[in-house]
Amino acid sequence: MSGNTQNHKLPLLDRDHSILAFNERVMDWARRPDVPLLERLRYLSIVSSNLDEFFEVRVAPHLTAARTNEQRGLYTAQSFEQLSEEVHALVAQQYAIYNDELLPLLEKKGIKLISHGERNVRQRRWVKEFFVKEVQPLLMPVGLDPAHPFPQVANKSLNFIVRLTGKDAFGRENEIAIVKVPRILPRFFRMPPVKGSKQTHFVSISSLIRSHLGDLFPGRQVTEFSQFRVTRHSDLAVDEEEVKNLRTALRKGLQQRHYGQALRLEVSAGCSVYLSNFLLEQFALPERALYRVPGPVNLVRLNQLIDKVDAPALRFESYNAGWPAQLTPGQSYFERLQQGDVLIHQPYESFDAVLAFLREAVEDPDVLAIKQTIYRTGAKSELMDLLREAVRRGKEVTAVVELKARFDEEANINYAERLESVGAQVVYGVVGLKTHAKMLLVTRREPAGLKRYAHLSTGNYNPGTARLYTDLSYLTADDALTADLEQIFLHLASQNRLPRLNKALIAPFHLHKAMLDKVEAAGAAARAGQDARIILKMNALTDEPMARALAAASQHGAKIDLIIRGACILPAQVPGFTDNVRIRSVIGRLLEHSRVFYFRTGEVEELWLSSADWMNRNMLRRIELAWPVTDAALRHRIMDECLSAYLHDSKDAWLLQPDGRYVPAGGAGGGRNRTVLHSAQSSLMARYGSKG
């Protein structure tokens, strides 16, 4: 039996369960005693945010299959049950950490979320006055009757359901009312200090409202109530082949996003069966979609509490990114790039250098044209301001704006309109394909003729996430590579056939096959007795052909190490299938985001950087870019900082087991002595951090 035939018998891991396993690893940071207390709370919030997106994007087909009791591809009633069981267990762990560990520890540090029953007379008076002046005027209770049906409840909004006795003003016994909590209201308020106490007290909006629900229904009695929150399907679906104006269609779709299919209902742990059943019926949800939580129904908003606490000792020590080692402040980028390529390892080195490159291009009178892809840039973007300024200075500016960047659609539509308003050429890429490649191309007039300079990145152009995500920025004046980028921009704007490229690989045309070929070449080299090595770093591996190609190469003897932060469908070290595959996930203070692909077949070494994960959507339904690093010194540096350092991480790394479980690289659970273990991120922060 050939290795390839046997390889197809390898059972791959489930993608959705792998995503949930990733969140378990993130939640481990909320447990770690070596992590500052407020940061532990923040990791708990991150898990909640991740779960929100999981439901918004991944759960709908499972729930639909469960409702119809029909198998729809991989989705069945059983898949929904299994997924629900796993999420319920994860949520139970979350709230156990929140209630049993973090809240008591915060109280010991003088920070307390104080409930109604714990407030003294003076505090209750303050809460009452605050409610009457600042909150009650914004609340509009809706009593349900035939003229007032169950109101539209927006995705992830905070609401209360109330059961009442007595009759309304018209003598009717409509016993159910809904109170929407406006999003404009903060979720936590700092209370006046207690005389003689060093504690800082906070009150949550849900506690504040529940204490005064009766005030909203004068003459009636509240017998039951619960806070609740519904999560809805939020992945925008627009038939690009049918619409005449994608921007207009997306704007219309955004208006409906908040009211998509209901997928999850969260209520207070003490919510009565009567009220929870009433809500399940309203949202057409099965019992397994109900989550009873012993605390706030939205732990994502804990970020607001964290931001209100003035306690630097309970946060990570601030990190100041150093100026890129290869760059001299004040030196012209154009002069520097004539000497060779430049690598910026973010966020260890500052993203400000990328903005400085664009700023110099905007201000240089010899720069004639600037072309850039825009996927995510943040709510307030200096980068966008610079592009607008370039237009004002008479430069030709082309922006390829991805309108379908999930949850950034509205911001990107606004940016597109602002750029068009000053005369920039704005295009939206290719119908049916997201433009995820990160490219900035500058064309400059020089004595010898026109010269191109470029910035490429494994990440996005968002200065905020550039301080939190590990990514590689690559600055180059390489004629062959920049000529490739020119052709790619022309292709995106004109839709003309893409010519043969010199160096770059582009999805959906070349990248998938090229990576498969490189994996197969490593397997063939190993089978021939040559040294064969593959090391890949990425966010996710969910493409089945890629996973099976790696397994086949492993069976032929290629040594394979994968550093995959999130979902991974390939099991590691399954006897007879992936004996030579080791897979690790590094979850640290920073979000691992760089994509690095290393191949060695015999004496030949290749190293590629890319915007793409090894996912089917990235390889076949997106415009993605990969480019080779041919400079030996830069290749060595990337190997050292992005691959070797992470392969030796024993503090923040987890090892994937054949059955899909992850175990800590440094030993079992809480018994790990993390102070003597190696952290790749900590080492790089120490190496590059600014001393100033």
Residue whose C-alpha is closest to residue 599's, from 506, 519, 513: 519
Q: Which of 62, 201, 233, 436 is catalytic?
A: 436
Residue 607 has pLDDT above 90, yes or no: yes
- Going by the DSSP 8-state scheme, the letter that residue 572 receives in this structure is S
Instruction: Give 68's pLDDT tier (boundaries 50, 70, 90).
Output: confident
**Backbone region of residue 13 per phi and psi (left: phi > 0; alpha: psi in -120 to 50; beta: other values):** beta
Please confirm, yes or no, whether 436 is among the known catalytic residues.
yes
Alpha carbons 370 and 362: distance in angstroms, whole number: 8
Lowest mean pLDDT across 183-197, 404-418, 532-546: 404-418
Least confident of 183-192, 210-219, 458-467: 458-467
What does the pLDDT read at residue 2? 41
Q: Is the pLDDT of residue 503 over 60?
A: yes
Query: pLDDT tens-digit profile of 122-146?
Result: 999 999 999 999 999 999 998 887 6
- The DSSP element (H or E) to which 226 belongs, if any, is strand 221-232
Q: Is the pLDDT of residue 588 over 50?
A: yes
Top mean-pLDDT range of 435-439, 627-631, 668-672: 627-631
Judge whether residue 66 has pLDDT over 70.
yes
Angle at 647 between CA 645 and CA 652, to 5 degrees: 85
Amino acid at the residue 441: L
Output the 3-class SS for 179-192.
Answer: EECCCCCCCEEECC
Cβ burial, residue 29 (10 Å; 0-12/13-18/19+): buried
- 213-222, 511-520, 555-564: range with lowest mean pLDDT: 213-222
Residue carrying structure tokens 């590990």: 470
Work out the pLDDT band at 461, boundaries 50, 70, 90: confident
Preceding peptide of 61 cis, ω within 30°: no
Q: Average pLDDT over the chain, rounded to whole?
A: 89
Q: What are the tokens at 283?
A: 């949202």
- The answer, yes or no, to whether residue 584 has pLDDT greater than 60, is yes
Please report the pLDDT score of residue 255 as a whole number.
54
Q: 3-state secondary structure string, 57-73?
A: HHCHHHHHHHHHCCCEC
Examine the pLDDT at 672 and tell me if it is beyond 70. Answer: no
The two three-digit tokens of residue 210, written as one number: 């529940």
pLDDT in tens, 262-293: 999 999 999 999 999 999 999 999 999 999 99
Q: Give the pLDDT band of residue 254 (cuts 50, 70, 90).
A: very low
Q: How far apart are CA 231 and CA 67, in angstroms?
A: 17
Tell me if 202 sits within 8 A of 305, measured CB to CB. yes
Could you tell me which residues are beta bridge partners of residue 628?
608
The span from the CA of 664 to the CA of 653, in Å, is 6
Q: Is the pLDDT of residue 310 over 50?
A: yes
Predicted pLDDT of residue 373:
87
The mean-pLDDT minimum among 15-24, 333-342, 451-460, 487-496 falls in 487-496
Q: Rounded CA gap, 401 and 409, in Å?
A: 10
The predicted pLDDT at position 75 comes to 86
* Domains contained in the chain, CATH given: 15-314 (3.30.1840.10), 333-500 (3.30.870.10), 507-688 (3.30.870.10)
Structure tokens at 454: 């470029």
Residue 178 is given by DSSP the state: E
* pTM for this model (two decimals): 0.91
